[in-house]
Structure 1
């Protein structure tokens, strides 16, 4: 189990990306990026998550300078040093070892710009090894239970994850290639 929830992970990312964000800013980003489609996040979970992050000492509350409308000044949140460290650790962990169809990996992808390119590439390299190992274990189990002799429904339970993992490995390899090419182009410009 992860030490922080997907909601907390996403909140840390958004606050860091905005440098400072109010609950409203975060809600707007969640809607714009379609996070609700694949991660279980509603307005109440945003505010509950912010409270948890604050209690853990990973975010700090700052009063906003810009007043808009008649309501009270909205609180703006920023990451503490501990919050930044936790976010970086979670990004790299999620990129290197979340299972093939895990929204945790998607959250890691969304946060790619928040870690160094070489760290991201290394995490993705670890993911490739992780996927390779997982695929190998499933294939061994499949073979030990009879492989192609198994009934179709049982074969499908093995072949489906094997195929998903193969597809995921191709995706990760291409993503790494693009990151490395981007790094080379970046090096030429500077």
Structure 2
């Protein structure tokens, strides 16, 4: 069984949804849905991913005479039977057991005593600012794409990260309060 990257997983989904798609179609869909917000996918990784999927036998390419505008004649990609089977397997696995987190943030939390409470609080306040901006950007994209009128699966691509960011904001705010309280108690006792 071949391993599958997040980019490849996303590409299989988009090709299946469109029934057939060109690299340009996929790039437009990535931009419209805000995939870049939660996945490391650029134009180059789209085309590298398409090549890998083709090498694994999960997609096939079809040349067409249909041409719109300037540039080369587009290559259309379709899922093979093996590609559809792999996609369904990945969807089931990801919905039932995947749990990805920001391990770098966890490492920073573990090392907080090394920088002191004041520096930790200042850094965590910056994180709250960062989270506030990220949340604003995702909400704006969500609204610009149609908001609550979007199909359920597309809505969830926005609402899940919004929910996670809101939860992290609450966690960080609580942590700042606890660190501030500990710092006050320390000051009162010394």
The TM-score with structure 2 as length reference comes to 0.52
For residues 10-21 of structure 1, the aligned pairs below 5 Å read 10-21=10-21
- Residues 71 and 45 of structure 1, relative CA distance in 2, 3 Å threshold: same
Q: Could you say which residue in structure 2 is the equivalent of 1:58?
A: 58
- Give the Å deviation of 1:101: 4.7
Q: Could you say which residue in structure 1 is the equivalent of 2:46?
A: 46
Q: Which runs of 5+ in 2 are unaligned?
A: 103-151, 155-177, 180-190
- Give the Å deviation of 1:110: 4.5
- Could you say what secondary structure the match of 2:70 adopts? coil
Q: Which segment drifts farther, 85-94 or 56-65?
A: 56-65
Q: How much is the aligned-residue C-alpha RMSD, in angstroms?
A: 2.2
C-alpha distance after superposition, 1:150-185 (max 9, x if no partner) = xx88xxxxxxxxxxxxxxxxxxxxxxxxxxxxxxxx
For residues 1-150 of structure 1, the aligned pairs below 5 Å read 3-99=3-99, 101=101, 110=153
Q: 1 or 2 for the larger relative contact order (CA 8 Å, sep ≥6)?
A: 2
Q: Which runs of 5+ in 1 are unaligned?
A: 103-108, 112-151, 154-190
**Paired positions, count:** 106
- Residues 69 and 100 of structure 1, relative CA distance in 2, 3 Å threshold: closer
CA distance in 2, matches of 1:70, 1:94: 39
- Could you say what secondary structure the match of 1:76 adopts? strand
- Give the Å deviation of 1:69: 1.7
- Could you say what secondary structure the match of 2:96 adopts? helix
- Could you say what secondary structure the match of 2:9 adopts? helix
Q: Which segment drifts farther, 15-24 or 62-71?
A: 62-71
- Could you say what secondary structure the match of 1:21 adopts? coil
- Residues 94 and 34 of structure 1, relative CA distance in 2, 3 Å threshold: same
The TM-score with structure 1 as length reference comes to 0.52
